Amino acid sequence: MSDVRRLVLAFDIGGTTIKAAAYDAALRPLAGARRPSPRGPAVVDALAGLAEEVLAALPPDRREDVVAAGAVALGLVDEARGVMRRAVNLDVTDLEVAGPLSRLLGVPTVLGHDVEQAAIAEVEASPTEVRQPFVVVIGTGIAAATFVDGAPLRGVSGQAGELGHVVVRPDGRRCPCGAVGCLETVASAAAIARDYSERTGTAVTGASDVLRRLGTDPVADEVWAEATSALADALVMVCTLLAPGEIVLGGGLAEAGDALVEPVRTTMLERSYVATVPPIRASVLGSRAGLVGAAGLALRTIGAR
């Protein structure tokens, strides 16, 4: 089969939604599907269902062109075994993912960490070349990846980058991880929507609903300011320890653009007395980064990238 004909399936296992898509070798999407994230082992059944949906949406003459699959997942991931080690937002512990998907699809399948692969995709899509970017992905949770000499830093445990579980508000809310005041409890998209709903009694479907109320709703302004302030505090710590060349704010929340970037930058400049605050920008890929990262991972697995 020529490289032009090759397709891969990509899966992004998030805390709120699981997404799937078919991509060609140039990382162009051909078909996609999504569904709410279930909890526990039902995650694997959801992946199987999404695979069937995506394959059914492809033209019949392209279904046999799928040569590999890549999945990315939140939490702690054992890439070598294809296992989600722990995902507190999904009540998952030691769940095999790559093996069942590979058996279902009949093609090589690999599992990676969602933020690491999203960050790799973001760096590859970046309009500028930066030696040491720090990429933050903000969705249901928050995690990050830092790059040294072009490679993501994993640490000896493989879990470097859990920025969402840095404590920024010690008198704050208890996190599902067990700690109190983690960044995720204040600045994640899920936390922003929850805090607004609790304070107003008005249910919102996500942080985007809060964003649309900025400037006209004092509670929305207050919740957003608390979130961006907490994120800025965490990023000042990052700059003090790692001195990145650039900070990229990604994930679904980054689609807020300047409404997110500018208050974070302003607060960082006010509170950073030692570290230099590098350029800060919203991501190029936004909420698509996880799927693009999963597709890129699959293509690298078969040597197509």
User: CA-CA distance, 161 to 165, in Å (whole number)?
Assistant: 9
Is 16's pLDDT higher than 80? yes
Q: Is the domain of 172 the same as that of 274?
A: yes
Closest CA to 284 of 72, 128, 162, 139: 128
pTM: 0.83
**Binning pLDDT at 50, 70 and 90, where does residue 3 land?**
low
First to last CA, the chain: 16
Question: How high is the pLDDT of residue 123?
Answer: 85
Domain encompassing residue 277: 128-283
Q: Is the domain of 144 the same as that of 232?
A: yes
pLDDT in tens, 39-51: 999 999 999 999 9
Q: Is the domain of 95 the same as that of 202?
A: no
Question: Count of CB atoms within 10 A of residue 124's CB?
Answer: 14
Residue pair 30/24 in contact by the 8 Å Cβ criterion: yes
Identity of the amino acid at 241: L
Non-local CB neighbours of 104 within 8 Å, separated by 6+ positions: 48, 51
Q: Is the domain of 250 the same as that of 295?
A: no
Half-sphere exposure of 102 (CA within 13 A, CB side): 13
Decide which of 69 and 141 is more confident. 69
Question: How high is the pLDDT of residue 274?
Answer: 92
Question: How high is the pLDDT of residue 202?
Answer: 94
Q: Which long-range contacts (CB under 8 A, 24 or more apart) does 177-185 make?
A: 177/88, 183/142, 183/230, 183/231, 183/234, 184/141, 184/142
- Helix 114-125 to helix 289-301 angle (10° resolution) is 90
Decide which of 45 and 147 is more confident. 45
Question: How high is the pLDDT of residue 105?
Answer: 93
Question: How high is the pLDDT of residue 158?
Answer: 66
Is 191's pLDDT higher than 80? yes
Question: How high is the pLDDT of residue 131?
Answer: 75
pLDDT in tens, 210-253: 999 999 999 999 999 999 999 999 999 999 999 999 999 998 88
User: CA-CA distance, 124 to 293, in Å (whole number)?
Assistant: 10
Q: Is the domain of 265 the same as that of 293?
A: no
Q: Is the domain of 203 the same as that of 264?
A: yes
Q: Is the domain of 148 the same as that of 234?
A: yes
pLDDT in tens, 53-104: 999 999 988 989 999 999 999 888 899 999 999 888 889 999 999 999 999 9
Residue 66 bridge partners (DSSP): 7
Mean pLDDT of the chain: 92
Question: How high is the pLDDT of residue 74?
Answer: 87
Residue pair 53/87 in contact by the 8 Å Cβ criterion: no
Q: Is the domain of 136 the same as that of 248?
A: yes
Is 109's pLDDT higher than 70? yes
Q: Is the domain of 91 the same as that of 160?
A: no
Q: Is the domain of 80 the same as that of 135?
A: no
Q: How many structural domains compose the chain?
A: 2
- The most confident of the ranges 88-92, 148-152, 196-200 is 196-200
Q: Is the domain of 43 the same as that of 139?
A: no
Residue 35 bridge partners (DSSP): 18
Output the domain CATH number for residue 162: 3.30.420.40
Question: How high is the pLDDT of residue 124?
Answer: 86
